[in-house]
Every structure is written in C-alpha cells, then in structure tokens.
Chains A and B, each alone.
Chain A
Amino acid sequence: DVKVTQSSRYLVKRTGEKVFLECVQDMDHENMFWYRQDPGLGLRLIYFSYDVKMKEKGDIPEGYSVSREKKERFSLILESASTNQTSMYLCASSLGRVNHEQYFGPGTRLTVT
C-alpha cells in the first residue's frame, strides 16, 4: 500500500517560531510537492522537488523554504511563522511522468498564534 506520511496532523506554533513540517514517501517517487489549502482558494503550490537536492518555487514560496536531502523525505520550513501562515499543509509525491497521479499525505493543520 502506497504511503505518504506527514509528521503531524495538528500543530500549534507561536508567531516568530521556526516550524518544520516533514513528509516521507515510501514509493521511490522522484517528485515531491508542498501545498497549502485554504477555503475558496483550492490547493496552492509552495515548492516542489524533481529529485534529491533539487527544488523549484511554486506559486507562493514567500516565507517558506524546503529541503530534500534524501529521495523519500521533503521538508517544509517556515523560517519565522506568521499568523497568515495558518493553514492546512498537504504533501504529495509522484513519479515524474505527465500521466502519473499524485499521492497525498493526510495533511497538517497548522495554527500560528
């Protein structure tokens, strides 16, 4: 059974804290993605990675960074959390082919107070 796991389902952090969201996949997928989901806005891409140590900015990278040191792990970092980063964060992975779907993790609901 394919699996994408995320380190936390719920997270509460204070403004200014550094936040790490971890995502691990066990399918040997080249591509990994971080999205945030907000009501009425759908899924917005923050960063994606083609392969180990590769990263590309998505539509809303400001305030975020990522790390992919190993193929199976893709981390999202909020350098200094702000209240407008309160959201649902979804990680996904995929093979690098246009006809291959994404597999999603369960999501992390982050609240910044």
Chain B
Amino acid sequence: AQKITQTQPGMFVQEKEAVTLDCTYDTSDPSYGLFWYKQPSSGEMIFLIYQGSYDQQNATEGRYSLNFQKARKSANLVISASQLGDSAMYFCAMREVNTGNQFYFGTGTSLTVIP
C-alpha cells in the first residue's frame, strides 16, 4: 500500500488566488511527521512546512499552511496569494518512528500559477 498519496498530477491557479494541494497518508504508527517540499524547475528540493502527529494546531509558515485532518489521514498544503514563483512540483512526505525515521514521498503535484 502506498504510504503517501497525491492524487493531483497537475494543478493550475490564478495569480493571487489560494490553492490546496492534496495529500493523504497511511500509517499505524502513532508518532509520525508530515512534510511538504517544493521543487522548482532548477531541481533543488526546498523544505516548506512540517506537521507533527501530536500537534494540536495546523502548521503555518508565511503563505503556507497545512490543513491537518488526523482522523481522515490527510495533510493538505494550502498556498495563499499564489505568486508566479510558486510554479513548481510539490511533494508530500511522511516520516515514521516505527520504520526508523525513514521518509516516504508521494508522486508529487505540478503547480502552475497563471498570470
């Protein structure tokens, strides 16, 4: 079974609008972390935001927020006020204590911001 599922291969958003990128995960470990990374066309992977399984509040980092719904095992990334520079691949990842802190990545979502 897939540990991380990203069902949106490609998304488009108008500049200055908000966009939600979906991520669902599968784990039986009570202790885990959820991460989002951005990969621009230049190829580097950039860490965006982290959510811990025990965190009560949704994580936020500037224009990024993570909509964490534990019971539904979803960890969607919300980007507010999209900018042209947000056009990139976005990867959701999970790290579990049970598997020795190994990271699991989704297949990614390609976001295009339209001017």
Contacts and interface: CB of A to CB of B under 8 A. Distances in A.
Interface of A: 31, 33, 35, 40-45, 48, 50, 56, 58, 88, 90, 92, 94, 96-104, 106-107
Contacts of B6: 42
B70 to A, nearest CB: 15
B103 A106 contact: no
Interface of B: 6, 9, 31-33, 35, 37, 43-45, 47, 50, 52, 91, 93, 95-97, 100-108
Contacts of A35: 105
Contacts of B107: 40-42
A50 to B, nearest CB: 7
A106 B44 contact: yes
A98 B32 contact: yes
A45 B44 contact: no
A104 B44 contact: yes
